[in-house]
Amino acid sequence: MLEWLFGSTTAGADIYVDLGTANTLISIQNKGMVLNEPSQVMVSSIDPKKRKILGIGLEGLEILKKNPGHIVVIKPVKDGVIADFDAARVMLRHFLMKAIKVSNKQRPKVVVSLPYGVTEVEKKAIVEACRSAGASKTLLIDEPMAAAIGAGINVREAKGHMVIDIGGGSTEIAVIALADIVYCEPLRLGGHKFDEDIIRYLKDTKKLVVSDQQAEYLKVNLGTALPKKNIQKLEVQGHDLDSGFLRTEVISSEDIGNALSNSIQLIIHGILNALEKTPPELVSDVIETGIMLAGGGALIKELANKIEAEVRIQVRVADNPLTAIAVGGEMVLSDPDLLEKIQLQL
């Protein structure tokens, strides 16, 4: 009744944080994205138990380049979940303090998007990290919801929409209606799993050992969901599995497509499973509205066409899939009514 008389009881927020497996993105209301750094904490390898922090994010990467032999890299978020609470708390506090300086707000209100289905312990750890960085209040929202908003979906309407967010460590297949996630199928695979698939495939079929960075390069430039279509080739240098010597090999998009096929099929299976567990009336809506792809994995060539052919529902890719979550989070900052509807309960 009070909301009907006086409007929303939740004020807008100042700073949005997307705590991702690969990168952490931070946006400020009316200023856009102000931070995009690797979600990594570098500690001294001399005494790992003491965890002497040498650098975080981009600053840590610069230190790692100079002294790679004396540094252990900690990735606080793995497969879409917080794997190291202490490191996550330190990292988030570091990034948030940077953003607070830019925002010129002494005690900002912060919104953080988290993977769907996080535990109460994880929620409390994030809230505490934000509080220690200077946040006056922390509100939590689901990543698939932020991705849907950033991709241009009207999440408020009663009609059902499906968004698939393929991130670095996880894929979340969500059906949204009336500003609520009706069903979500979370998968523990994403961009990093794609890289592992490529490394394993080249080792098994070419006896070639490549690095994580080389695998990512091949994924970005040759990754495809339809291996037989528009075949392209690139040279890559790796170590021969038998001799250990460096050698150059020509790799095709067909090779990389074959490497990714099992993981892509798992995503398609997840979509079918999500549709099966979604109320029939909302499935009818999804058939009408189509499926929206977001996240870095959405950039895999022909992925939308592959899903469309298998699921028989139109598939679109968000205009800026890599930053859809960050854009959605920033939009929520100036929409207190929507923020109130989608925030997670603590």
Shortest CA distance to 208 belongs to which of 174, 169, 256, 170? 256
Q: How confident is the model at residue 60 (pLDDT cuts 50, 70, 90)?
A: confident
Average pLDDT, the chain: 90
Residue 252: inside a domain: yes
Q: Which of 116, 7, 4 is nearest to 335 (CA)?
A: 7
Average pLDDT over residues 312-327: 93
Q: Report the number of distinct structural domains present in the chain.
A: 2
Range of the domain at 130: 2-39+75-146+325-342
Rounded to the nearest 5°, which phi and psi values hold at 151? Answer: -85, 0
Q: Tell me the per-residue pLDDT of 259-318, one tens digit each, with 9 for 90 and over.
A: 999 999 999 999 999 999 999 999 999 999 999 999 999 999 999 999 999 999 999 999
**Are residue 124 and residue 253 in the same domain, yes or no?**
no
pLDDT for position 1: 32
83 has a pLDDT exceeding 90: no
Asked if 95 and 197 sit in the same domain, the reply is no
Tokens of 76: 């606080």
27 phi, psi to nearest 5 deg: -120, 150
At 198, list the tokens: 């490529």
Parallel, antiparallel, or unpaired: how do β-strands 109-114 and 137-142 relate? parallel
Instruction: Report residue 64's pLDDT band, with 50, 70 and 90 as the boundaries.
Output: confident
* For residue 63, pLDDT beyond 90: no
Helix (H) or strand (E) holding 192: helix 191-206
Q: Tokens 């199928």 map to which residue?
A: 185
pLDDT per residue as tens digits for the range 110-119: 999 988 888 8
Q: Domain check: are 129 and 173 in the same one?
A: no
Tens of pLDDT, residue by residue over 131-168, are 888 889 999 999 999 999 999 999 999 999 999 999 98
Task: Report the distance separating Cα 268 and Cα 283, nearest Å.
Answer: 16
Residue 66 lies in a domain: no
Q: Measured between alpha carbons, how far is 307 from 334 in angstroms, rounded to an integer?
A: 34
Q: What is the pLDDT of residues 16-33, one digit of tens each?
A: 999 888 889 999 988 888
Residue 10 belongs to a domain with what CATH number?
3.30.420.40
One domain, residues 24 and 97: yes
